[in-house]
Amino acid sequence: MKITSLTALEVLDSRGNPTVEADITLEGGATGRALVPAGASTGEKEAVELRDRDPQRYGGLGVQKAVANVQGEISQAILNQELADQADLDHRLIALDGTPNKSRLGANALLAVSMAYARALAAANGKPLYRQLADQASYVLPVPCLNVLNGGRHADNNVDFQEFMIASHNAPTFAESIRMSVETFHALKALLKQKGYYTGVGDEGGFAPNLKSNEEAVELLLEAITKAGYRPGTDISLCLDPASSELWEKGKDGQPGQYRLFKSTQQTFTSAQFNDLWVSWVSQYPIILLEDGMGEDDWAGWQLHTQALGSKIELVGDDIFCTNPAILQAGIDQHIANSVLIKLNQIGTVTETLATVRLAQANGYNQFVSHRSGETEDTFVADLTVATGAGHLKTGSGSRSERIAKFNQLLRIERELGGAGRFAGIKAFKNQ
């Protein structure tokens, strides 16, 4: 279906930093709009987010070049062209950019166009977005994994590990799951206030207090779950994303690398010792998912990590895989992790994202769909999660409207599906 109009605009993400918005009109009048998110804790192998680097505008973070690429070269290449489907458009965009990491035109420029086209196709076909992405008889509603305590790069506190999440899996519906989660979020706020801790929130809507230790973050979550009237490990379990790549120090002069807890103790760990830390935590606490338990450059550590915990819990690769099917295939071949994080802007088009999902599914790997820390009001990832049947999603906490927008979209989808939708529950998580 031909694109008759394509425009772009420099807008703002949830941090107040610029990002790209694209609007598409198809022949026949159907329209689609998309806004691209941005990450802070980013993998080295991610597709390149094109920034202007003009210190006189937005501290160098402007995206006028990416916007100009959409309205210039990309428009000239695709306007009024016969397009067979989403994959046809996306492959044209990839070829037009011509670089392995989309650095010439910018992954933010390409993804805005790719997502907007998916929405326009859905409108033209009279379908909801999730059905445009995958038209099937029934769908799975995901377990929401709420990042209720923030640390690492996502907060200005003394907690080393980036995300401490709750997963309310013992519920009959998504609506009940999100209710349980938000009640626990509010119980956590009351608990923090009672203990004299700061209750401001970080980039993703979770609380970001200074704590006595990283372990205290987990203990606070368990206490909050109980105070909310739920059973840790039975009703609500824990998921962690320590963002270990941020803690990894490459070795010098032939020496092995190490992990350092920069914010708290300055303690260092070998790969084996860091893995032992996670083995200890999993044995003590009801943790069912661990994302980026090892750094993206520590493939040997990842193999050790997978051998130790890969049959017990879900081990998600984010920075190490970057939603890239070629890198994921290398991980599969080397028996690294058992799940892949799915972020649209890590790879740069809808088609490549779906290809990564299919590769994971074909090899028995789970898929954990994710927002970015610099988010927008765009709810594409909610529909993507339902379309792929990924079964679990992380998209913030119990606050900040750019996060809540995704939950609200899932509530709408669940109502719309009725009996054609089922809640994933605990089976969404590997080895549970």
40 SS3 class: coil
| Cβ proximity of 124 and 28 under 8 Å | yes
371 is in an annotated binding site: yes
296 is in an annotated binding site: no
Query: Which residue, 241, 238, 240, 243, is CA-closest to 166?
Result: 238
Instruction: Name residue, tokens 């995958």.
Output: 134
- 154 contacts: CB under 8 Å, gap ≥ 6: 40, 41, 147, 162, 163, 202, 203, 204, 206, 208, 373
241 is in an annotated binding site: yes
Give the whole-angstrom CA distance, residue 156 versus residue 150.
9
- 128 contacts: CB under 8 Å, gap ≥ 6: 122, 383, 413, 416
CB contact burial 284-312 (16+ within 10 A = b; e otherwise) = ebbbbbbbbbbbbebbebbbbbbebbbeb
How far lies 360's CA from each of 91, 176, 291, 325, 354, in Å?
21, 29, 16, 9, 10
| Cβ proximity of 338 and 311 under 8 Å | no
E strand or H helix that includes residue 404: helix 401-417
193 is in an annotated binding site: no
Residues annotated as part of the active site: 204, 343
DSSP 290-316: EES-S-TT-HHHHHHHHHHHTTTSEEE
Give the whole-angstrom CA distance, residue 422 versus residue 123.
25
Give the whole-angstrom CA distance, residue 46 versus residue 397.
25
373 is in an annotated binding site: yes
Query: Which residue, 353, 288, 351, is CA-closest to 321?
Result: 353
| Cβ proximity of 169 and 177 under 8 Å | yes
| Cβ proximity of 148 and 138 under 8 Å | no
163 is in an annotated binding site: yes
Binding residues for Mg(2+), by number, are 241, 291, 318
Which residues does the annotation place in the binding site?
Answer: 154, 162-163, 241, 291, 318, 343, 370-373, 394
Which residues line the annotated binding site for (2R)-2-phosphoglycerate?
A: 162, 343, 372-373, 394
